């Protein structure tokens, strides 16, 4: 339930204007919550008088904070940050602190989702990481045969370039593996991108593990280990850790293919 504090509401209509669900109206000079919505909470964010709150066990007003200068990132700086991001394939044996993992999950949680569905859930594999990796590699090695391999890993995946002897072929020694489970790919991919940049901001690195994303969704033993049903879809697999590699410069990219209309 969205609550309007009538004492504080000035009737400016900012919440009404920004409400995608048409759930708010100005009545007798004050905003009123007139029908259910998908709780994007723009009304809370946009109210200059801080008159809007939510009363719902799924949400806490305690985590709402005012937007000030500290929330601003200069665009040039942001773009340089994005350009200096690299996929990490060499990790230190140093464990990631719990608070940092919580921050990564927070970055995912605050990413946008279609219709504000917030339908991405996460599996953090840390304590049982080696046991899990062993199972993943066992499953992966069962695709060593060319006929079987191409079923799950079509081109450009190339069997001849895979070192099946490498126990860390999939996760490259990443300390913590986080899986984003979601019926579709888009919401999870957006969350993952935000998590990667947040990781970089904390001195951590990230690897998207495409091989594992394909593998896990066709592997009964892996799904069972993870407590997932056949129908659950692992949309993104990420390996996080402290990088054991340093990059000194950015890389070139192809020009973007753009159509201007």
- Footprint of ligand FMN (CB under 6 A): 86-87, 89, 207-211
User: Would you call 236 exposed, middle or buried from its count of C-beta atoms within 10 A (0-12, 13-18, 19+)?
Assistant: buried
In the structure encoding, which two tokens stand for residue 100, read together? 């940092």
H/E element holding 47? none
**Minimum Å distance from CB 207 to ligand FMN?**
6
Shortest Å distance, C-beta 208 to ligand FMN:
4
Q: Which is nearer to ligand FMN, 115 or 250 (CB)?
A: 250
d(CA 132, CA 119) in angstroms, rounded, equals: 24
Cis peptide before 156 (omega within 30 of 0): yes
User: At its nearest, how many Å lie between ligand FMN and the CB of residue 202?
Assistant: 18
Q: Which is nearer to ligand FMN, 146 or 156 (CB)?
A: 156
**Nearer to ligand FMN among residue 52 and residue 170 (C-beta):** 170
Separation of CA 166 from chain center: 28
Q: Which residue is nearest to ligand FMN (CB)?
A: 210
Give me the least distance between CB of 147 and ligand FMN, in Å please.
Answer: 21
Q: Which is nearer to ligand FMN, 20 or 245 (CB)?
A: 245
User: In angstroms, how far is the first alpha carbon of the chain from the final one?
Assistant: 42
């Amino acid at each position: 339930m969205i609550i309007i504090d009538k004492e504080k509401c000035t009737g400016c209509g900012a919440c009404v204007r920004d409400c995608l669900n048409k759930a708010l109206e100005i009545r007798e000079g004050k905003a009123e919550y007139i029908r259910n919505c998908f709780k994007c909470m723009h009304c809370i964010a946009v109210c200059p008088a801080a008159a809007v709150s939510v009363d719902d066990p799924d949400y806490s007003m305690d985590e709402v904070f005012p937007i000030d200068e500290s929330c601003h990132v200069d665009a040039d700086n942001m773009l340089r940050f994005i350009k200096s991001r690299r996929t990490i394939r060499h990790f230190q044996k140093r464990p990631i602190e719990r608070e940092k993992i919580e921050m990564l999950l927070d970055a995912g949680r605050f990413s946008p989702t279609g219709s504000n569905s917030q339908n991405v859930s996460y599996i953090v594999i840390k304590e049982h990481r080696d046991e899990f990796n062993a199972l993943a590699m066992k499953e992966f090695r069962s695709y060593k045969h060319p006929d079987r391999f191409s079923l799950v890993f079509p081109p450009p995946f190339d069997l001849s370039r895979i070192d099946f002897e490498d126990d860390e072929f999939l996760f490259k020694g990443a300390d913590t593996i986080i899986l984003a489970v979601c019926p579709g790919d888009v919401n999870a991919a957006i969350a993952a991108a935000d998590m990667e940049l947040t990781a970089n901001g904390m001195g951590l690195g990230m690897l998207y593990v495409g091989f594992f994303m394909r593998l896990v969704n066709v592997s009964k033993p892996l799904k069972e280990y993870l407590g997932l049903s056949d129908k659950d879809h692992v949309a993104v697999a990420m390996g996080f850790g402290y990088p054991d590699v340093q990059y000194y410069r950015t890389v070139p990219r192809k020009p973007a293919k753009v159509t201007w209309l």
